[in-house]
Amino acid sequence: MADAFGKIAKPYWDDKPVAVIGGGPSLLGFDFERLRGAHVLAVKRKVFEIPWADAGFGVNMERYIEWRDRLAGVQSRVYWAVPEDQIGGIAYPSKNITLLKRLDGLGVSENPGEIYGGGTSTFGALQVCIHKRANEIVLFGFDYDGNYDGGFLNFGEKQRAQSAGHWAEWAEHFSIYVPHLRSRGVSIVNACPTSAIRCFQKVTLQDGVSMLRQRVAA
């Protein structure tokens, strides 16, 4: 089933800033229409909430199996990173879904067909941006405090709880991106002042939106 894997390719996102949307509670009540004009990468279930997003992304196999039919019905390109030893256990995806090979451990993949999971889908999402050649990235909903917007998924499922220690550890994983992004001249800000991810510049949600819109208009 190795031929089931694809890769991230054109269209690239080097022409406009990229908004990466996570599931943190800082986005409760947020109007995603405010991000229109930028490239938008919606992580996991956010692709159902932002039907006009450029792409969706995830690494969680349980969620992929649960959502496969729904993912096949969205208009966005969906990238899902799958361990090679699990590829044979899933049905061949629809035309809008591209399966990527999920690598173990921490790292930043140079191969557009591979993603290091880093423990969370939001960690892997930054590699999608890198493979899409993004120059400017604004993170939204990257709180990493263990809470989620509303606590319940749209489809009657309860969010699976994780310990605070896990979230603190996963937040530290993002530091691996710093030298890589700096060497490529990629700017990145986190629009959640209370985020546990400390390696990126943090701004308010409103400032993050303003920065994005200013760069779209430039």
Choice between 214 and 148, residue whose per-residue pLDDT is larger: 214
Q: Is the whole model's pTM more than 0.85, yes or no?
A: yes
C-alpha 202/C-alpha 211 separation (Å) is 12
**Which pLDDT score is estimated for 158?**
45
Which range of residues forms the domain containing residue 145? Answer: 2-26+35-217
C-alpha 186/C-alpha 197 separation (Å) is 17
**Which two tokens mark 159?**
């969010």
Question: Under DSSP, is residue 86 helix (H, G, I), strand (E, B) or coil?
Answer: helix
Per-residue pLDDT tens over the stretch 164-216 = 568 889 999 999 999 999 999 999 999 999 999 999 999 999 999 999 999 99
**Which two tokens mark 140?**
């939204």
What does the mean pLDDT of the chain come to?
90
C-alpha 36/C-alpha 179 separation (Å) is 30
What's the structural domain count of the chain? 1
Choice between 157 and 170, residue whose per-residue pLDDT is larger: 170
CB-based burial of residue 33 (10 Å sphere; 0-12 exposed, 13-18 middle, 19+ buried)? exposed
Peptide bond into 93 cis (omega under 30): no
**Which pLDDT score is estimated for 151?**
39
Q: Is the separation of the CB atoms in 152 and 174 below 8 Å?
A: no
Task: Give the residue among 58, 51, 20, 11 at the shortest CA–CA distance from 38.
Answer: 20
First-to-last C-alpha distance (Å) of the chain? 45
Per-residue pLDDT tens over the stretch 35-61 = 999 999 999 999 999 999 999 999 999
Within 92-173, strands assigned E span 97-103, 114-116, 136-140
